[in-house]
Structures are given as structure tokens and as C-alpha cells.
């Protein structure tokens, strides 16, 4: 779940279910999640067409041997009505810290609602936007082709949200530069010095540092190191790296030590 290969409901559900994961973890197929099958392809950046090509090929292979519920007028029949039609759900994960810091994020939510988009947290439906990461998803699929849905989402919707974030970052730099630096360097000081760190405060601090790196306020840390820490400091990843189960304060202390070591490494 931490690697987004399955959903939280799939992890927490009861009864017969499973998942098939591709070798490089860009593809996963959930069995008996919300529907009998949920095929998922992940790509970094905004490679929506590439993701669609792969998922379409997998779908064609499965459909050659499986009988999907399909209606000539309504398309694929799914458990959730918003997925009826093509059955496709296009989602992009965005880091929007400046919109949050300038209290402009509510405008994005309102605009998204008008465009019939869903805005969710780090782990999708039912989760909070921890670390200022927001999952933006296209809500409806009925009446449009997959190519039309992807093109509109990639070329119109997402660039507009990214543009809002860039404007918010410029506003922070020009109007609240000292406050921005204070936020970024306090977060970095916490990560470099704390002896115990909870998951949520880690993600919040990493979000501020990531913003600082992107705006070149922090120059001695590479962005890939910050990105790695978002993933590796989560509960299951941390315990797997350390090779033991950790609870409570022991896990918080281990997380803080792991972060200090990673940030001090060349």
C-alpha cells in the first residue's frame, strides 16, 4: 500500500482477494477490490499516454480470455457508477505546498469540483493530503473515449493546477521570503536533529524541505534524496529496511535516526 501498488481498502478488506505485481512495479492488478479486476499502471512525471498504452495492452490480453460485464450503450458496468463507460480512472499525484501555505488550496478544490474532479490524499480515497500531496482524479468516463479523457486531463486540467502552484510559489518568494525560509529551515533542522519522529510530522517536514530544494533555498540536498525519504520513512518500509518489527517510541526513534543518517550521507 505504501508503494501505491494496492489501495487501502484492498489492504483492509476481508475475504478472497489478491494482487499481481509487475517486475518493475509499474503495473499491478488487484483482484476483488471494488470490482473483480482493477488494473493499474504507474508512471513518473506526466506520462499519461505511455501509461494508457501499457494498460490498454494488458486489458486487451485479459479480455481475450475473460468475459467482462459490458453494455453496448453504457460501456463497462462497474461497481461504482462514476466508473461506468470506459472504466478508466486517470489520476495524477501533485505536490502543492505553496497553495497550502498561502491558503489558496481551497480555490483548487472548488475549481476541481466544478470540473467534476476528485481530490484525494496521499493514498487515494478516504485519506488526508499528508505531506501536501494531492491525488487529482477524473471522476466520469461515460460518453468520452479514453484518448479524449486523457488529452483533456493532461493538456487542460493538470497544467492549470500546476500553474496555480507556480504562482503561489512566486508569491511566497516575493512577499513572504523570510517566513518561507523560516518554515523550510525549521523543517530541515528538525529532520537533522530530532531523536524521535512520527510519520505525519516527518511528511510535513519533508514537504517543506522539498519546497525549499525546488526553490533553491536549500542547495546541499538533492531532490531525489527527499523523494526517497517520503517513501522509506513510512512504517512498513522502515521496518523492512531495519529487518525487525518496531512499535511506538522505538519506531519513532529508529525513523529519526534513519533520517539523520540519510541526510548526513554524501
83 CB contacts (<8 Å, ≥6 apart)? 35, 76, 89, 141
Digitized pLDDT (tens) for each residue of the chain, 266 residues in all:
999 999 989 999 999 999 999 999 999 999 999 999 999 999 998 899 999 999 999 999 999 999 999 999 998 999 988 888 888 889 999 999 999 999 888 888 888 888 788 888 766 565 566 789 999 988 777 778 889 889 988 888 889 899 999 999 999 999 999 999 999 999 999 999 999 999 999 999 999 999 999 999 999 999 999 999 999 999 999 999 999 999 999 999 999 999 999 998 75
User: How many CB atoms sit inside 10 A of residue 176's CB?
Assistant: 14
Q: Are 187 and 211 in contact (CB under 8 A)?
A: no
All 3 cell numbers of residue 248? 511506538
For residue 42, what are the CA distances in angstroms to 22, 64, 85, 257?
A: 11, 23, 22, 31
pLDDT at 108: 82
User: pLDDT at position 59, please?
Assistant: 93
Look at the block and give the residue holding cell 505536490. Answer: 95
pLDDT at position 143 is 79
The string of DSSP codes covering 137-166 is EE--BTTS-HHHHHHHIIIIIHHHHHHHHH
User: What pLDDT is attached to residue 126?
Assistant: 53
Among candidate residues 130, 133, 46, 137, the one with its CA nearest the CA of residue 95: 133
pLDDT in the model for residue 144: 82
Q: Choose among 97, 172, 183, 170: nearest CA to 133.
A: 97
pTM of the shown model: 0.88
9 vs 12: CA distance, rounded Å: 5
Amino acid at each position: 500500500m505504501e508503494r501505491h501498488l494496492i489501495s487501502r481498502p484492498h489492504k483492509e478488506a476481508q475475504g478472497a482477494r489478491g494482487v499481481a505485481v509487475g517486475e518493475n512495479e509499474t503495473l499491478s492488478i488487484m483482484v476483488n477490490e471494488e470490482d473483480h479486476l482493477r488494473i493499474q499502471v504507474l508512471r513518473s512525471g506526466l506520462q499519461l499516454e505511455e501509461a494508457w498504452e501499457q494498460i490498454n495492452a494488458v486489458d486487451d490480453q485479459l479480455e481475450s480470455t475473460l468475459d467482462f460485464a459490458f453494455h453496448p450503450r453504457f460501456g463497462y458496468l462497474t461497481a461504482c457508477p462514476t466508473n461506468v463507460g470506459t472504466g478508466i480512472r486517470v489520476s495524477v499525484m501533485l505536490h502543492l505546498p505553496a497553495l497550502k501555505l498561502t491558503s489558496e488550496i481551497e480555490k483548487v478544490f472548488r475549481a476541481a469540483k466544478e470540473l467534476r474532479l476528485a481530490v484525494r490524499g496521499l493514498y487515494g480515497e478516504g485519506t488526508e493530503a499528508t505531506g501536501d500531496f494531492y491525488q487529482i482524479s477524473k471522476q466520469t468516463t461515460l460518453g468520452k473515449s479514453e484518448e479524449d479523457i486523457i488529452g483533456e486531463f493532461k493538456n487542460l486540467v493538470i497544467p492549470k493546477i500546476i500553474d496555480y502552484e507556480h504562482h503561489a510559489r512566486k508569491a511566497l518568494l516575493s512577499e513572504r521570503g523570510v517566513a518561507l525560509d523560516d518554515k523550510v529551515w525549521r523543517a530541515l533542522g528538525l529532520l537533522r536533529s530530532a531523536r524521535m519522529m512520527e510519520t505525519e510530522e516527518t511528511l510535513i517536514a519533508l514537504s517543506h524541505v522539498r519546497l525549499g530544494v525546488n526553490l533553491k533555498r536549500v542547495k546541499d540536498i538533492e531532490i531525489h534524496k527527499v523523494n526517497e525519504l517520503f517513501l522509506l520513512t513510512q512504517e512498513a518500509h522502515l521496518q523492512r529496511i531495519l529487518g525487525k518489527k518496531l512499535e511506538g517510541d522505538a519506531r519513532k526513534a529508529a525513523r529519526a535516526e534513519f533520517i539523520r543518517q540519510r541526510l548526513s550521507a554524501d
